[in-house]
Amino acid sequence: MFNRILAKNNFKYEDEETAKEEITKMLSDTDLTVVESRCKAIEMVNPDKSLEVQKSIIAEGYLFLKNEYAISMQLIQYNAYGTMKFAYVVKSITI
């Protein structure tokens, strides 16, 4: 799903920040709980800070900008050990 969203949006955005915001919005329209930052994800899955939080990169791909630069994007999953609470963060790096 993540790579399909990236592929459909190649060459649509001017810069990394706009691309990341738009991809995050698209993922939020699915059943995933997507938040803006690592801190918010950890707070959401472990509000009382009593459990260990696990981090996993569950999807990774490239998105090309209008100026033909590429950004590497990752969908990172956070969950508190032993629970079924999940939060996701989109991370991007210009290549």
Rounded CA-CA distance 26/69 in Å is 21
3-state secondary structure of 95: coil
Sign for the CA dihedral angle at 40, 90, 95, 68 comes to: negative
Report whether 79 contacts 58 (CB < 8 A).
no
Question: Above 90 in pLDDT, residue 68?
Answer: no
pTM of the predicted model as reported, rounded to 2 decimal places: 0.90
User: Mean pLDDT of all residues in the chain?
Assistant: 95
Residue 10: Cβ-neighbour burial (10 angstroms; 0-12, 13-18, 19+): middle
| pLDDT 10s digits, 9-18 | 999 999 999 9
Question: Above 90 in pLDDT, residue 41?
Answer: yes
Contacts of 50 (CB under 8 A, 6+ apart): none
Q: Where are the domains of the chain?
A: 2-94
Task: Categorize the per-residue pLDDT at 37 as very low, low, confident or very high, splitting at 50, 70 and 90.
Answer: very high
